[in-house]
Amino acid sequence: MFRSVGILRKMSTMESGRPDWPWKKAKKVAMMLSFSGKKYLGMQRNQGCSTVEEELLKALRDSGAIPPEWYDNASKSFFQRASRTDKGVSAAKMVVSLKMLNEDGTRDKINAKLPSDIRVQDVKRVTKNFNSKNSCDARTYLYMLPTLAFAPIDSISDESYHITSDVKIKVNATLKLFEGSHYFHNYTSGKLPMEPSSLRFITDFEMQEPFERDGIEFAIIKVKGQSFMLNQIRKMIGMVIAVVKGYASEPVIEESWGVQRIDIPRAPGLGLLLEEVHYERYNYKFGKDGLHDDLKWESVKDEVEKFKEDFIFSEIVDTEREEKSMITWMGNLLLHKFEPRHFEKDMKQFTPIEKAKALLKYDKKESNEKEIDDDS
């Protein structure tokens, strides 16, 4: 009788497509990886395209961490990325969650199947309901740029430029204006003024101390917030550069959160990278329960920093030297007027019914689209 029950269970497993041994031992994990995005058309899988996820899933399959059918349909492993990234964007600490076999040496086996510009840095056991995107509290991005971007209009803006202390103070003072809750409809596309989904909260925005690489002075701008919309970070950087250089005045920033449209330049994509995904609530609740690790990744800090130096920062420096993307972009700043103009129709002129219809239209549109909560 017991044998018959076992046979029936095995047949049921085969018919349902659920993986048999050893995949029954698969557990939910959080995997942290670093990658240089130069060769890839983004993080997310896209059929026929070279993406980070495609390389990762192949390596998981070929290393024996997931069965072939989970590679073909990643949802069977409950695979979820913390953020999407656009073409060329890199990440220092991207996190994905999935079910997989996680035995001794699994990380090294996966890395052996990955190209050198993608590294799995750590794998940690998490709760069965953990979702790398939905469990995330905040994200930190970095933007690395040559300091010549902040050179005043009447000064020389070439590779010999070194930022002064006064300009550094002005840069950080301007960045601080973005902290707190604001409507960022002018910093993305497809959003009406004061639309609830464009309300975002930024906790920290600052420029770190400049440094020199290959004869060019660079600086890194660090921004942390709950989530970011399409193009938001690049447009915030573009606005800060315009204000510091003197093309726009500080009051324009305040006006950009209001009901009128402001023409805001989008800074070059080169230099943008996802630095970290934060799980503070999860760490507080489960990080010290004795069954799960916290998701702070301190044990691989040195490995992450080395990867950033070898594959991300060096690539940004080399590309900037060759293509001079920032200098080219600054040449177009004169084309931006920074003058308020009406959206499709000034919201002050909308009747209450028109406002409700417009917002309902955009809410329906948004509900049918995939959420974009990272810059791309």
Q: Which of 62, 86, 108, 158 is catalytic?
A: 86
On the CB side of 301, how many CA atoms lie within 13 Å of its CA?
4
214, 236 Cβ separation under 8 angstroms = no
Q: Can you tell me the distance from the alpha carbon of 362 to that of 347, in angstroms, rounded to the nearest whole number?
A: 14
Total residue length of the chain: 376
Taking alpha carbons only, the member of 87, 75, 80, 76 closest to residue 43 is 87
Strands 211-213 and 216-225 come out as antiparallel
Q: Can you tell me the distance from the alpha carbon of 337 to that of 30, in angstroms, rounded to the nearest whole number?
A: 46
Rg for the chain (alpha carbons), in Å? 24
Taking alpha carbons only, the member of 14, 74, 20 closest to residue 43 is 74
Active site residue 86: yes
Q: How far is CA 362 from the centre of its chain?
A: 24
Q: Can you tell me the distance from the alpha carbon of 12 to that of 71, in angstroms, rounded to the nearest whole number?
A: 22
Q: Is 187 annotated as a binding residue?
A: no
**Binding site membership: which residues?**
141
Catalytic (active-site) positions: 86
Binding-site residue numbers for substrate are 141
